[in-house]
Chain A
Amino acid sequence: MIETTVFAMQVLLLVMGCLFFAVGTLGLFRFSDTLSRIHALTKVDNLGLGFIVLALLPLAPSLAGGLKTVLIWAAALAASATSAHLIARAVHVRPEPPEAKESADD
């Protein structure tokens, strides 16, 4: 009984994680400027990966294995925050020319 409940929760969390990743990618298409796109990718993907990590935790072979899975999430978070900031700073220092946005739509 408990096993079935855990399995159902895992499936639910995995599906939610994948849905959030899909929504994050949708942000790349729906938002028109670089900075808003980064908002979508960092925040929604962070949540999606969080759900997937939660779903995988009951499958961890040991305490060390579970900690390793959580470390993957932490490393992805640090990388995503850092790269988001670097791209945002680059755009802030040298803003995108408006005509570049126009031609991207062609």
Chain B
Amino acid sequence: MQPASPVVTFVLRGAALFVVWWALTLGEVSGLGFGAVVAVLVAWLSLRLFPPSGFRLRPLGLLLFFGYFLSRSVVAGLDVARRLLSPALPVHPGEIILTLRLPEGSPRWLLANTLSLMPGTLSALLEGDQLTLHCLDTRDPVERDVRETERQVGRVFGLTFDHARGAAL
């Protein structure tokens, strides 16, 4: 995949930073000029530190991902709370190692961080395409949930998977 042009990345990052500044200053008009200067400088610095990669965010995929993330966050919180409040403390901790289908870079990073907030999983070690997960209950269908999260993360970057071969297209 071709990396996005630096100019487009610069404009998008600068705009996002400016919106954050606007929110942090509660829309204070007198601070907007200074905020614009800071946004431009930080966007420039971010290009030096994190040059544009070949992955582009898809607005629709991102929106669907937010919905998925929010609903699964509720499930995750309720799941741990239910186990904690149950007198028998029904947990069966253990580790599993999975081979990720997502490509190196932002997609894998987003998946590993998301999984730490999803029900029953905690990213312990990410080495190459091998992700070690700590599971609260290894009797649950952990891998099925992880694959679904992986599919959702892939969609954020416009990636789809061939399930038969298990490789990114």
Contact = CB atoms under 8 A, between A and B. Distances in A.
Most chain A C-beta atoms within 10 Å of own C-beta, residue among B23, B26, B114? B23
A48 to B, nearest CB: 7
Contacts of A23: 80-81, 84-85
Contact of B122 (A30, A38, A48, A50): A38
Interface residues of A, number: 40
B125 interface: yes
Interface size class of B (residues with CB under 8 A): 35 or more
Given A36-B91, A81-B113, A47 B125 contact: no
B43 interface: no
B108 to A, nearest CB: 12
A10 interface: no
Given A46-B73, A63-B27, A40 B134 contact: no
Contacts of B20: 71
B14 interface: no
Nearest to B69: A77
B116 A84 contact: yes
Interface in A65-85: 65, 67-68, 71, 77-78, 80-82, 84-85
B93 A35 contact: yes
Interface in B77-99: 77-81, 84-85, 89, 91, 93, 95
A62 B23 CA distance: 9
Contact of A64 (B26, B125, B134): B26
Given A36-B136, A42-B122, A71 B84 contact: no
A43 B124 contact: no
A88 interface: yes
Q: Is the interface of A mostly helix, strand, loop or mixed?
A: helix
A66 to B, nearest CB: 8
A68 B24 contact: yes
A31 B79 CA distance: 14
B125 A89 contact: yes
A11 interface: no
Interface of B: 19-20, 22-27, 70, 73-74, 76-81, 84-85, 89, 91, 93, 95, 112-114, 116-117, 119-120, 122-125, 132, 134, 136
